[in-house]
Structure 1
Amino acid sequence: MGFAEELTAVGVKAPMIRTIARGFAFPEGPRWHEGRLWFADQHGGTVYVLEPDGSIHEHFDVPGGPSGMGWLPNGDLLVVSMDERRLYRRRSDAQLVVHAELADIHSGQSNDMVVDHLGRAYVGNVGFDYFNGEAPRPTCIVAVADEGMVTVAADHLHCPNGSVITPDGRTFIVAETFAFRLTAFDIDAEGRLSNRRIFADLGGYAPDGICLDAEGCVWVAVALANSVVRVREGGEILTQIPIEGARPYACMLGGMDGRDLFICCASDHDPAVTVKVRSGRIDVARVDVGSSGARP
């Protein structure tokens, strides 16, 4: 049975969903950090920090539109600027400073990111000019050391997007959006990626944002299927959560016990549309298996 058929054949009852916040342009890249939900309103140019009930605790602008986020060991936030193809660091005094320049290596908009326990950031990019109709082409993931040095960690990837690192720090999993799969790598002591392999073939459905649970399964936002699905290594679909009235673009486990699945949704992905209609919202589903505890 292929992925498309599995989406309609999953026998597990989907959890109930509630919406906790609305009115954003295009929410993406959610992270649960220190008891709050952080996410990037990419097309709105703003990072939001929400309380668990959806009220806004804080927000700040990021030049070039924010995307992936993660934290250095000293507590500073790293945040990707998509259009500038740059990585910013937000210091404890709330000032944004340039952490690394990515434009010489990233051939398209910089995108999602995960940061390991040493402060090494793995940053993907779209790889081509999607909104101006350029033909897709393979691209790379870069590794940015905590002092800002940039190297290519893996190449020949098809729009490396949402990514996670397992709690033991030994496995990196990335959504290759235009290869319709999740791809895994081993991480060595120096942070290099090797032993590329398919974690899950999604059978023609394009994965976007992902997160990891305590059983080693991956939640995947599948926008064109209007669903978020839980996938086991090897590709078995364990749970499907249909999204009504919007498409899901990213997800993150959080909440007080790690069992709240926060889902970033919007009715469209075109910036010319999203900034006008502001249909973006944050949904929450209560799931059975909590977060892996890995660093977001």
Structure 2
Amino acid sequence: MVDTTVLHTGIRFGDGPRQGPDGRLYYSDFYDHEVRAFDLSTGVEEVVCTVPGQPSGLGWLPDGRLLVVSMRDRRVLRLEPGGLVEHADLGGVATFHANDMLVDAAGRAYVGNFGFDLHGVIAARGEAALLAPDYRPPTAALALVSPTGAVSVVCEDLAFPNGMGFLGDTLVVAETLAFGLTAFDVAADGSLSGRRVWADLRGHGVAPDGIAVHEDGVWVAPALQAAAFLVVDGRVARRVETSQPCFAVAVVRDTLVCCTAPTSQPEVVSVDRLGKLEAYGL
């Protein structure tokens, strides 16, 4: 039984959802190359910008300027009144497509990347290859981008670093292919230490993709399942059924918004508009 209601359809592949400073839901559609803002109250949607290199993670600088990850050319772009400009070049850190991003209150951006051609592996060997206990994917580094665009590495050897969120002074990172959430202590300068497992989700079959912090828990999009999971203190506390696999989540005021699609494989979702925004009241 599906627990969510459908807010919006006609999306190719939605990702990187965030509540914006104006209260609207902002998200990226990979294969329409657009960042959009959707008003949950009215259902009105606006195209904010077009990203030829394929948009993903989103965030805002303290002054309200939008940052957006350009996946294929491994950059972070900044939206200025005249259009998008380069904010940071991740080419020295990202070893494949850049992906999700979390921007803190000071304007520092944590940015993950695939580390390898995930979709190529799935196309050649199937998703089952990723689920094998002995599968060891190439790892990736997590980048930290300063408010001025300087790039450094804050953690290495992550198994597909994906969605991120803050729980107080703790950064939680979804390691998709480690099937778990990893926690770090965050210093005043944004550096990370104290790496540890925050939640082991392999037993639930959860390959965590996007995540969203809500109160004391973390909502997790499991990628391979038509559901969203609430994880509290490292344990699964709730499961919400969606109409199709869930790849990203956001909390907008009192609503959990799920970006769903039948698959993440480009050969399917870049052709047909099968993606949805689904909502669950909190």
Q: Same fold (TM over 0.5)?
A: yes
SS at match of 2:270: helix
Structure 1 range deviating more: 59-68 or 20-29:
59-68
Q: Which letter maps to 1:149? A: A
After TM superposition, the score normalised by the length of structure 2 is 0.90
Asked if the contact 1:21/1:55 (under 8 Å) is kept, the reply is: no
Q: Per-residue deviation at 1:147?
A: 0.4
Q: Which residue of structure 1 aligns with residue 96 of structure 2?
A: 108
d(CA) in 2 for partners of 1:86, 1:59: 18
- Using structure 1 for the length normalisation, give the TM-score: 0.86
Cα distance, 1:94 vs structure 2: 5.1
Matched, 1:259 2:246: no
How big is the shift at 1:192?
A: 0.4
1:270 corresponds to 2:265: yes
| Equivalences for residues 225-240 of structure 1 within 5 A | 225-234=225-234, 236-240=235-239
Corresponding position of 1:279: 274
Against the structure 1 CA distance between its residues 116 and 280, is the aligned structure 2 distance closer, same or farther, given a 3 Å change threshold? same
- 2:158 match: 157
**Structure 1 segments of 4+ aligned residues over 2 angstroms from their partners:** 57-60, 131-136
Structure 1 residue 230: Cα displacement: 0.2
The one-letter amino acid of 1:184's match is A
Q: Give me the whole-angstrom Cα distance separating, in 2, the residues matched to 1:96 and 1:180.
A: 35
CA shift, 1:44, in A, is 1.9
Deviation per CA, 1:82-140: give whole Å up to 9, x if none.
Answer: 1110000012x151000000012101110001001110000000100122339820111
- The 1-side partners of 2:110 and 2:246 are apart by 23
Aligned residue for 1:195?
Answer: 194
- The question of 1:63 aligning with 2:71 is answered no
The question of whether the paired residues in 1 share the 8 Å contact of 2:34 and 2:47 is answered with no
* Contact kept? 2:227, 2:240, Cα under 8 Å: yes
Q: Is the 8 A contact 2:210 2:249 kept in 1?
A: yes
- Match runs of 1:144-183 below 5 Å: 144-166=145-167, 168=168, 170-183=169-182
Write the letter of the residue equivalent to 2:254.
R
Contact 1:15 1:285 (8 Å CA) reproduced? no
Task: Give deviations 1:169-223, integer Å, cap 9, x for gaps.
Answer: x111110000000000001111100000111000242000000011x20000012
Inter-partner Cα distance in structure 2 for 1:107 and 1:191: 22
Is the CA contact (8 Å cut-off) linking 2:2 and 2:241 kept in structure 1?
A: no
Unpaired runs of 5+ residues, structure 2, are 125-135
The answer to whether the Cα contact below 8 Å between 2:3 and 2:241 also exists between their aligned partners in 1 is no
| Alpha-carbon offset, residue 15 of structure 1 | 8.6
Are residue 24 (structure 1) and residue 11 (structure 2) matched?
yes
Cα distance in 2, alignment partners of residues 31 and 103 from structure 1: 25
Cα distance, 1:233 vs structure 2: 1.9
**Bigger Cα displacement from structure 2, 37-46 vs 132-141:** 132-141
Secondary structure in structure 2 of the residue aligned to 1:128: coil
Q: CA deviation at 1:63?
A: 2.1
Residue number in structure 2 paired with 1:221: 221
Aligned-pair identity in percent equals 39
CA contact (8 A) 1:184 1:199 kept: yes
Paired residue secondary structure (1:222): coil
Amino acid at match of 1:62: V
Q: Write the distance in 1 (CA, Å) between the matches of 2:277 and 2:43.
A: 8
How far 1:61 sits from its partner (Å)?
Answer: 0.8
Query: Match for 1:158: what amino acid?
Result: A
Are the aligned partners of 2:2 and 2:242 in contact in 1 as well (CA < 8 Å)?
no
For the aligned residue pairs, the C-alpha RMSD in angstroms reads 1.6
Structure 2 CA distance for aligned equivalents of residues 50 and 94 of structure 1: 22
**Secondary structure in 2 aligned to 1:223?**
coil
Residue 291 of structure 1 aligns with which residue?
Answer: none
Which residue is 1:8 aligned to? none
Greater shift after overlay, 128-137 or 72-81?
Answer: 128-137
Q: Size of the alignment, in residue pairs?
A: 265
- Per the alignment, in what secondary structure is the counterpart of residue 276 of structure 1? coil
- Aligned-partner SS, 2:271: helix
What is the match of residue 294 of structure 1?
none
Alignment of 1:3-14 (within 5 A): none
Deviations 1:41-93 (A, max 9, x none): 012211111111432133421121000000001111110011110000012x1
Question: Which residue does the alignment assign to 2:132?
Answer: none
